Amino acid sequence: MNRTTTPAPRRRAYRGPAILSDGFRPFFLLGAIYAGLAILVWLPVFHGELSLRSAFAPRDWHIHEMLFGYLPAVMTGFLFTAIPNWTGRLPIQGRPLLTLVLVWIAGRVAVTASAEIGWLAAFLIDTSFLALVAAAATREILAGKNWLNLKVVVLITLLLAGNVAFHIEAHVNGTADVSIRIGIATVVLLISLIGGRIIPSFTRNWLAREKPGRLPAPFGRLDVAIVAITAVILLIWIVRQEGALVGTTLAVAGLLHLVRLGRWAGDRTFGERLVLILHVGYAFVPLGFLFGAASAFGLLSPSAGLHAWMAGSAGIMTLAVMTRASLGHTGQRLIASLSTQAIYAAALVAVLARICAVIETAHSDALLYVAAAAWSAAFLGFSVTYGPALLGLDKRSRKQARA
């Protein structure tokens, strides 16, 4: 994030399992597997063919496990891989990393079995994961005196607050509402902040090396202003979803993010799918705002905008970051193989089918099945394609883990 003062990261001699040598390895792999399997479970639950022993209503279980289950896992993998680069400190490895992994797994089990163990037990187990992640990240950033990146921890803490509110709201009211919007708004802000750093940076690096000419605008005052305006508009949206005020402000946010995306020279990256997919994923941020604006004016179901943000921007961006980081940090070339491109294509099909299921209600059931199958193919495809490297089963990634 703050590249001008970043010290060189250090490594300790590591002799444990390769999967626990870096934060991205277990959390990318488990997060992807869970994202793929949870959707396969959700469809029969949605159609009443399967019941879960969760205290959450079926819809709330689905939303919670996407928003506060799979996404925090991937975010943690990214965060614990980035922090050593930000601070120059040693990465979290071995037993401390294993503890976090087990707490995350326990949260998934507790939420799904919350009708058996009680909502309070599930609440304590599930929310402890993001609390531990925020505490560990804060400790590392403060110890490394990397103050500017504390803003990321603030957003992780806000996501934790959304999860806490989700459990309480669902228990008290029988279903979650405001807490869902808090969580989604936080994810959109995280993508706006982190995406605004890495997308122009990776694009610039590739263009400067392979395709000299127009380069993306670096993160600057305009980006800061757009992110700040976005935060205010999302706060309005959390409180109110209908009417001219929220509709107009959401439309403004969408246009601002389109302007921002246009400054990053994404149209020049078709030759490198690893870079192009970042632009494609971010494009669903303004699209979500524009769909939200249409919903506020009564022209479209709110679900279109929510899925543009969550399945589109969050889903595609997490796959984009996971594939790129997995290649780079396991000693492989930064090239999108045919299998990686197939993962991206499946993710794009999933989000387009899911949005079309909202718009084309006459074909919604068929489109939901297409969306679910494509989503699972993307994330389980990532697990199969990148699993051996993340587990350290090939010589190059095993050597990289012990370097």
What pLDDT does 282 receive? Answer: 98
Helix (H) or strand (E) segment spanning residue 83: helix 71-87
N- to C-terminal Cα distance for the chain? 24
Q: Is residue 2 over pLDDT 70?
A: no
Mean pLDDT of the 185-197 span: 95
What pLDDT does 5 receive? Answer: 45
* Structural contact between residues 389 and 326, judged by C-beta atoms closer than 8 angstroms: yes
> What is the DSSP-derived secondary structure letter of residue 57?
-
CA separation, residue 87 to residues 145, 172, 326 (Å): 7, 42, 20
For residue 168, how far is the Cα from the chain centroid?
23
For residue 180, how far is the Cα from the chain centroid?
15
pLDDT digits (tens, 9 = 90+) for 241-292: 999 999 999 999 999 999 999 999 999 999 999 999 999 999 999 999 999 9
- Give 52's pLDDT tier (boundaries 50, 70, 90): very high
pLDDT digits (tens, 9 = 90+) for 129-146: 999 999 999 999 898 888
* Structural contact between residues 184 and 306, judged by C-beta atoms closer than 8 angstroms: yes
Q: Distance between CA 289 and CA 308 in Å, rounded?
A: 9
The one-letter code for the residue type at 70 is: Y
Q: Distance between CA 321 and CA 327 in Å, rounded?
A: 10
Of 280, 385, 388, 281, nearest to 342 by C-alpha is 385
How long, in residues, is the chain? Answer: 403
pLDDT digits (tens, 9 = 90+) for 156-165: 999 999 999 9
pLDDT digits (tens, 9 = 90+) for 203-214: 999 999 999 999
What pLDDT does 399 receive? Answer: 59
CA separation, residue 58 to residues 24, 33, 99 (Å): 30, 20, 29
Of 374, 318, 261, 312, nearest to 29 by C-alpha is 318
* pTM assigned to the model: 0.93
pLDDT digits (tens, 9 = 90+) for 58-84: 999 999 999 999 999 999 999 999 988
Q: Is residue 99 over pLDDT 80?
A: yes
- Give 3's pLDDT tier (boundaries 50, 70, 90): very low
Q: Is residue 12 over pLDDT 70?
A: no
Q: Distance between CA 6 and CA 144 in Å, rounded?
A: 9
> What is the DSSP-derived secondary structure letter of residue 243?
S
Mean pLDDT of the 3-17 span: 60
pLDDT digits (tens, 9 = 90+) for 108-124: 999 999 999 999 999 99
pLDDT digits (tens, 9 = 90+) for 316-362: 999 999 999 999 999 999 999 999 999 999 999 999 999 999 999 99
What pLDDT does 85 receive? Answer: 86
Helix (H) or strand (E) segment spanning residue 88: none
